[in-house]
Structure 1
Amino acid sequence: MFAPETDSHADHSHDYAVSRPRAWFAFAMIFLLMLSDYIDRQIVVSLFPHLKEEWGLSDKQLGALVSVISVVVAVGSLPVAMIADRFGRVKSIFVMASVWSMATIACMFARSYAQLFAARAVVGLGETGYGAVGSALVNGLFPKRLHSTLLGAFFAASALGAVLGVMLGGAIADHWGWRAAFGAVGFPGLAMALLFLLVPDYKSVVVKFQPRIQSRSSKAFLGRLYQALTHGPTLLWVCLAGAFQLIVVSTIWAWTPSFFNRYHGMDSATAAKHAALVVLCCAVGSLFWGWVADRVSQRRPRNKLLAMCVLTLLSFVVLSCAFTADLPAGLQYAMILLGGFLMTCTVGVTTSTVLNVTHPGLRATGSAVLALFQNLFGLAIGPFFGGLISDTWGLNVALAAIPSISVLAAVCFWKAARSYENDMALVAAVVRQEAEGRPVQNSTLVLPLTASRA
């Protein structure tokens, strides 16, 4: 594991944990593996027409092939992140990437829906914790002034990966069949996993809280863990806000290829290209709105959360109009593209906010709490319930109705904005107390973890 450097270059790098070249190499590898993560996760959506034709699947079954990954990721994110905080982020990510890549390769050998579903679940097992651990690594290696921008770019890689997955899946399936598509994206992921062993990690320190908790109940443990992570309600409200908005994002990502195929008569490759451009707009939006959030929050940190209130409501209006109004095909597509650009505004901001109100010794664990909400209450819900609504009332109705959930996201961001600055101050006070060797008030848990330096 690499320790923070203390040479003269690092002295001029404004709180980089390692030298700038090594930090940016690390970010490049983190970004590329996020691409691989979402290529492997989203490639199946462009294969829906082929799977539906070959096995006669319902939309609910097709949506479950996407949702199962998010469910597994949600269940495993917290324990995996705690292990990563103890044993190192880089080694943990190497194992994760190896598992999800091999499971993607295994998908090409599935001979039934059940086998494919099981292989997809193992893909989720490998991806468990990557978003949390990767964002903690970015947060630990780079100065705070870059966090929202870089985390926005990190999660923009998920959109770019979805673009590549959809485009590659549609093109490869049309020429060589849907099985070949899984193999074509699985093997490069293994190569990137090996390269990731060259990435620097930040130094770990032991996080200790006294006195020990006596109760062994899971409810008591989770309560004490939440108190150890943060000191106010912002974490909860932001996790809810991010999850609600991702219901909308995951629905659009999963079902736009099928929408273009069914309602505009496109073949699977053409539909995949149109859907890929929507997801590309999502990637650009994630990066752009992360940059905007960093700018507007320089004077008042809460401004970035208030901006999210406005943007999530705007995404609801645009997407609802796109799928309900009687529009020419070209104008409808332009509205969908604009909705994609708006709806991913939250991804970098939610992560940076959670990390800012989380004890710096538990960054990966705090990110894992966010990942649990995002996957279990966000990404897992959208594709499955989109398919369920589609089976009952039609896909167009599903795509028109689900964007209304952005209103709930806006409400939660407004609630988070009210407590954000106070919670940041409380966490900073705890860190100062620890640095000065004074006992920390209201700390009721000893966590057997190592974690990031403060």
Structure 2
Amino acid sequence: MTVDPAAGDAHAIRRRSLTLALLTLTYFFSYMDRQILAILQELIKADLKLSDTQLGLLSGLAFAIFYATLGIPVARLADRANRKNIVAVSLAIWSAMTAAGGLAHNFTQLLVARIGVGIGEAGSSPPSHSIIADLYPPEKRAGAMGIYSLGVVLGAALGTFIGGLVASAYGWRIAMFVIGLPGIVLAVVVWLFVVEPRRGLADAKTHTAHDAMPSLWNGFASILSNGPALHLVMAVTLTSMIGYGLTAWGPSFMVRSLGFSVREISLYVALPAGLAGAASAVFGGRLADRLARTHGLHAQATMVAVLKALALPFTLGFFLLGSPVAAVLSYLAYVLLANSYLGPTFALIQGLAPVRLRALWAAITLLVINLIGLGLGPTLVGVISDLLKPSLGSESLRWSMLVFAAATPWAIFHYWRAGALLRRG
């Protein structure tokens, strides 16, 4: 039976809000499953007798290598095949592997489970970015990506909240089951209700089915030859390295240096941080769309640079302030200002990408972000903390994390430079 292309396009547009909501919920589950170790790692450390370096590997490099590198072949598949199905299958895999982590009785078993989570999550973001870019035109894309990025802050916050409360009452293993298993149900919902739009639907110029599929080298070469895109990738990579290091080790820092319990972090820090991050993501996306309409796309990159500069003193304050209350308030201010970067960054990258390379550009960006940001951030924080422990004792983690926060001006420069090049272009 022949399907009317116009009817298919109209159906995709009618369902785009539902599709965006389900992709955001999938991203939410991705971050819950990815960040659940952060609130549990002090309990896991005591139970399995692990070092900070081993904990850093579990939440960083071991996960990131598989997550990032497998994103490339998945993106190549997503540029050819049904993206909705890829997201649904991937969600089912990583949810099952998160639950399997609760069965681990040593470092190696937990490592294998976390590698499985990384393998599953590799199939989530590249096809999701591509679907969203096909459903929303450039002037609405940053707002849509801002909504999608809610998955990061809400997933991390509610994962901490739910995981911490469950772990406090029933242990860290049950928390892994509670966080992981519902994702298998969501995978069925995604498969049934997310739409697969025509590629390039929301753009004025689209490709045809007869267009040649560019090679993987074309994807890398096209980013390297695009000045604004290259600076955006560098900026978001550095930002992610700092952010992943803080997110992975923030709860442990609050336990060791600020005197919080796992339950107190879940009740008094996780939800306010989630609300602040959500407000930042939504407001940042809408502000970016408005700035693009009134000043041009370059203003989006400049906006991120300004907000990150304003957030820097609060980032440093989280680690340097002696009072637990003041430190947490400083952390919430940092989240409110700094978490607006994802929507505008990914929207700009998708807008700069050739239509046939959108999923691949997203995967290449995520490859760099995750190998360096997610891979090195939490891992090096743990390594440096162990190295500093003989001289600084329990305060070694505080100063290890501060080293990463001090790299923020480097990221700010790249956002500013991307904006300057976009304004010229």
TM-score, normalised via structure 1 length:
0.83
1:203-246 CA distance string (max 9 Å, x none): 24546359x9xxxxxxxx65433345686222211111001011
| Aligned equivalent of 1:26 | 19
Return the letter of the residue paired with 2:378: P
Q: Name the residue aligned to 2:251.
A: 257
Q: Find the residue that maps to 1:380 and give its secondary structure.
A: helix
Distance 1:90 1:407, change over 3 A: same
2:421 equivalent to 1:419:
yes
Structure 1 vs Structure 2 CA RMSD: 2.4
Q: 2:129 aligns with which of 119, 125, 135?
A: 135
- What letter is aligned with 1:338? A
1:344-376 deviations in Å (ceiling 9; x for gaps): 221111101111111012211111111112211
Q: Note if contact 1:77-1:128 (Cα within 8 Å) is conserved in structure 2.
A: yes
Structure 1 equivalent of residue 76 of structure 2: 82
Which residue in 2 is equivalent to 1:247?
A: 241
How far off is 1:6 after superposition? 2.9
1:275-354 alignment runs, 5 A limit: 275-276=269-270, 277-298=272-293, 299-326=295-322, 328-354=323-349
Corresponding residue SS for 1:18? helix
Question: Counterpart in 2 of 1:41?
Answer: 34
Q: Name the residue aligned to 2:392.
A: none
Hey, what does 1:431 align to over in structure 2? none
Secondary structure of the structure 1 residue equivalent to 2:79:
helix
Structure 2 stretches lacking a partner, 5+ long = 200-207, 389-395
> Which residue, 80, 88, 106 being the options, matches 2:100?
106
Letter in 2 for 1:419: L
Counterpart pick for 1:59 among 52, 55, 65: 52
The match for 2:186 among 192, 195, 212 is 192
CA-CA distance at 1:186 after TM superposition: 1.6
Larger helix proportion, structure 1 or 2?
2
Q: Tell me which moved more, 111-120 or 69-78.
A: 69-78
CA distance in 2, matches of 1:109, 1:8: 45
The answer on whether the counterparts of 1:207 and 1:361 sit within 8 Å (CA) in structure 2 is no
For the 8 Å contact 1:33–1:97, the answer to whether it is kept is yes
Q: How does 1:146-295 map to 2 (within 5 A)?
A: 146-198=140-192, 199-204=194-199, 205-206=208-209, 208-209=211-212, 223-227=217-221, 232-276=226-270, 277-295=272-290
Gaps of 5+ in 1: 11-16, 213-220, 424-454
Partners of 1:200 and 1:157 lie apart in 2 by 19
Shift of 1:325: 4.2
Q: Within 2, Cα distance between the matches of 1:324 and 1:9? A: 53
Q: Deviations over 1:277-333 (max 9, x none)?
A: 33442232122212211111212211111122222222222211332245x332222
What pairs up with 1:2-17 in 2 under 5 angstroms? Answer: 6=6, 10=10
Change (3 A) 1:279 1:252: farther
Question: For 1:71 and 1:288, how far apart are their aligned partners in 2?
Answer: 32
Match of 1:430 in 2: none
Cα separation, 2, equivalents of 1:168 and 1:391: 29
Q: Matched residues in 2 for 1:153 and 1:18: separation? A: 18
Instruction: Tell whether the 8 Å contact from 1:78 to 1:129 is kept in structure 2 after alignment.
Output: no
Distance in 2 between residues matched to 1:354 and 1:3, nearest whole Å = 32
The DSSP-based 3-state class of the residue aligned with 2:407 is: helix
Matched, 1:72 2:66: yes
CA 1:120/1:391 → structure 2, altered by over 3 Å: closer, same or farther?
Answer: same
SS in 1 for 2:308: helix
Find 2:43's aligned residue among 28, 38, 50: 50
Change (3 A) 1:162 1:325: closer
- C-alpha displacement at 1:421, in angstroms? 5.1
2:401 to 399, 402, 407: 399
d(CA) in 2 for partners of 1:334 and 1:133?
A: 36
In 2 relative to 1, CA 283–262 (structure 1 residues): closer, same or farther, beyond 3 Å?
same
- What secondary structure is seen at the aligned counterpart in 1 of 2:70? helix
In the aligned structure 1, how far is the partner of 2:133 from the partner of 2:3?
A: 15
State whether residues 78 and 368 of structure 1, in contact with CA within 8 Å, keep that contact through their aligned partners in structure 2: yes
**Aligned mates of 2:137, 2:120 — CA distance in 1:** 29
- How many residue pairs end up in the alignment? 405
The match for 1:444 is none
User: Aligned residues: percent identity?
Assistant: 27
Distance apart, 1:247 and its partner CA = 1.2
In 1, the alpha carbon distance for the partners of 2:97 and 2:399 equals 34
User: CA offset at residue 33 of structure 1?
Assistant: 0.9
Q: Which structure is larger by alpha-carbon Rg, 1 or 2?
A: 1
Change over 3 Å in CA distance of 1:248–1:161 after alignment to 2: same
Cα-to-partner distance string for 1:370-428 (whole Å, 9 max, x where unaligned): 111221121222211122222233111123221122111111112222332566xxxxx
TM-score of the aligned structures, taking structure 2 as reference length: 0.89
Find the aligned partners of 2:71 and 2:286 in 1 and give their Cα distance.
Answer: 27
Match of 1:374 among 369, 387, 405: 369
1:118-152 deviations in Å (ceiling 9; x for gaps)? 11011000000311211211111123222111111
| SS of equivalent to 1:57 | coil
One-letter identity of the residue aligned with 1:404: A
* Cα displacement string for residues 145-203 of structure 1 (whole angstroms, at most 9, x for unaligned residues): 22111111111212101111111111111111111111112221000101111211012
How far apart are the structure 2 equivalents of 1:280 and 1:34? 17
